[in-house]
């Protein structure tokens, strides 16, 4: 049942982090040795380092670098017999200090109630917990600019969070809480200077990440190809095409995004797979690269859909390919009915079908409207958003369905 392209689809997931970083390894090593030398150093103040990029540059490895650093630190600390606890929190949207601390408490599996406790009490509990367990924590705060640009945390609270050690010295005076701040935006340093100058002036490392050039992207996607595709399913030319397309240079710009490069490789592989081809060919890459494919088919969302949502979306794509225009819910339901049967699945009842349509609509995968003139009575009509190409969506869904339930058996 499985195709000839993928050996391991999971390495193309957004959250997958390879076991070694072939690019950004220097940055990683600098941070790792910095924190490592701080851990267990004895008396010392909190270490805070900052990883940042330029405004609007995403997919350039900021989060990956931070998570990778904490993973390696965990391994190295374990080798030394140290109790090390990495904590990752995305603070986008600026949660309150109390919410952030609650997350830390739960990530550390401290098992204490934080509700109703004053912030300072929670901080003290964290500090005591680490002391009692003789543990060290590295707190990664991703999207840290969000906290700085919001007024939800006062300057004092920001200071308190990042300088717990000074406010609440642990019994043995050993600091066990360090921070790695990740920010999309280089203005993070200016903001820190304005709001928490005492912290800013003591930043350990400021690691600025440039968008990736094409050589770097080649290395990154080749690593994924080796881990996730059959050796005969691709060649270097395919990887070069993708890397050159997204690679950043000072003169031509370019996204420099590893996310897009990886997504394009995966998409090209999906298309080749759906065609039952044994190799990814140039035309598959072209299809994947056409802005439509990469930017408009939200692969991760689609992969997260339930089986019947996929079947419904597939029915809509099929109808759009054969007749186009707006589809009545009646005809979509009928198509879905047949398609489900073809896949050997019992179609869901009408009310459930409607729930699924509503979900798909909320996720931006289906547009719905109430019919106006021309159709008797009022009924819901629907279509795909105009920027989602039906043919390509069909290919993607077919390959996901193939994985989950096999191929359809038309009757």
Q: Applying CB under 6 A, which residues contact ligand ADP?
A: 14, 16-18, 21, 23-24, 53, 58-64, 220, 258-259, 262
Which CB sits closer to ligand ADP, 56 or 374?
A: 56
Query: Residue 266 CB, nearest distance to ligand ADP (Å)?
Result: 10
Query: Residue 388 CB, nearest distance to ligand ADP (Å)?
Result: 22
Which CB sits closer to ligand ADP, 60 or 104?
A: 60
Query: Residue 359 CB, nearest distance to ligand ADP (Å)?
Result: 26
Task: Specify the DSSP element, H or E, that contains 182.
Answer: strand 177-183
Cβ count within 10 A of residue 368 = 14
- Rounded distance between C-alpha atoms, residue 354 and residue 341, angstroms: 18
- Rounded distance between C-alpha atoms, residue 250 and residue 264, angstroms: 23
Which CB sits closer to ligand ADP, 3 or 53?
A: 53
- In the block, tokens 């009022």 appear at 378
**Cα→Cα distances 55→46, 150, 175, Å:** 28, 17, 33
Helix, strand, or coil (residue 81): coil
How far does Cα 34 stand from its chain's mean position? 26
- Rounded distance between C-alpha atoms, residue 307 and residue 301, angstroms: 13
Which CB sits closer to ligand ADP, 56 or 410?
A: 56
| CB-nearest residue to ligand ADP | 61
Radius of gyration (C-alpha) of the chain in whole angstroms: 25
Which CB sits closer to ligand ADP, 24 or 195?
A: 24
- In the block, tokens 């109790």 appear at 83
DSSP secondary structure letters along 367-402: EEEE--TTSSS--EEEE--TTS-HHHHHHHHHHHHH
Which CB sits closer to ligand ADP, 255 or 335?
A: 255
Query: Residue 138 CB, nearest distance to ligand ADP (Å)?
Result: 17
Query: Residue 261 CB, nearest distance to ligand ADP (Å)?
Result: 8
Query: Residue 391 CB, nearest distance to ligand ADP (Å)?
Result: 26
């Amino acid at each position: 049942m499985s195709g000839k392209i993928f050996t391991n689809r999971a390495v193309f997931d957004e959250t997958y982090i390879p076991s070694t970083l072939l690019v950004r390894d220097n940055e990683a090593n600098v941070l790792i040795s910095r924190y490592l030398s701080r851990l267990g150093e004895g008396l010392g103040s909190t270490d805070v380092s900052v990883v940042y990029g330029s405004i609007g540059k995403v997919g350039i490895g900021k989060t990956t670098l931070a998570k990778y650093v904490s993973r390696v630190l965990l391994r190295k600390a374990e080798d030394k017999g140290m109790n090390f606890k990495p904590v990752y929190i995305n603070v986008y949207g600026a949660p309150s200090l109390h919410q952030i601390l609650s997350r830390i408490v739960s990530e550390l599996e401290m098992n204490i109630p934080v509700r109703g406790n004053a912030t300072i009490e929670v901080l003290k509990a964290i500090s005591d917990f680490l002391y009692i367990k003789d543990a060290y924590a590295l707190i990664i705060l991703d999207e840290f600019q969000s906290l700085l640009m919001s007024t939800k945390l006062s300057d004092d609270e920001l200071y308190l969070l990042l300088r717990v050690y000074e406010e609440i010295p642990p019994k043995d005076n050993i600091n066990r809480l360090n921070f790695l701040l990740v920010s999309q935006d280089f203005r993070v340093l200016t903001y820190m200077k304005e709001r928490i100058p005492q912290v800013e002036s003591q930043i350990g490392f400021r690691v600025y990440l440039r968008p990736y050039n094409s050589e770097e992207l080649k290395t990154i996607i080749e690593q994924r190809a080796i881990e996730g595709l059959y050796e005969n399913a691709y060649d270097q030319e395919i990887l070069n095409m993708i890397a050159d397309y997204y690679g950043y240079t000072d003169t031509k710009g370019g996204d420099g995004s590893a996310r897009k490069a990886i997504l394009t490789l995966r998409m090209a592989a999906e298309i080749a797979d759906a065609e039952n081809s044994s190799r990814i060919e140039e035309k598959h890459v072209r299809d994947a690269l056409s802005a439509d494919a990469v930017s408009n088919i939200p692969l991760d969302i689609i992969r997260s859909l339930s089986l019947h949502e996929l079947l419904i979306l597939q029915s809509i794509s099929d109808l759009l390919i054969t007749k186009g225009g707006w589809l009545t819910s009646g005809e979509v339901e009928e198509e879905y009915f047949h398609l489900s049967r073809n896949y050997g699945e019992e179609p869901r009842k009408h009310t459930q079908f409607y729930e699924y349509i509503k979900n798909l609509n909320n996720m931006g995968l289906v547009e719905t409207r109430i019919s106006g003139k021309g159709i008797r009575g009022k009924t819901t009509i629907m279509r795909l958003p105009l920027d989602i190409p039906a043919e390509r969506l069909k290919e993607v869904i077919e390959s996901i369905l193939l994985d989950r339930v096999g191929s359809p058996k038309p009757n």
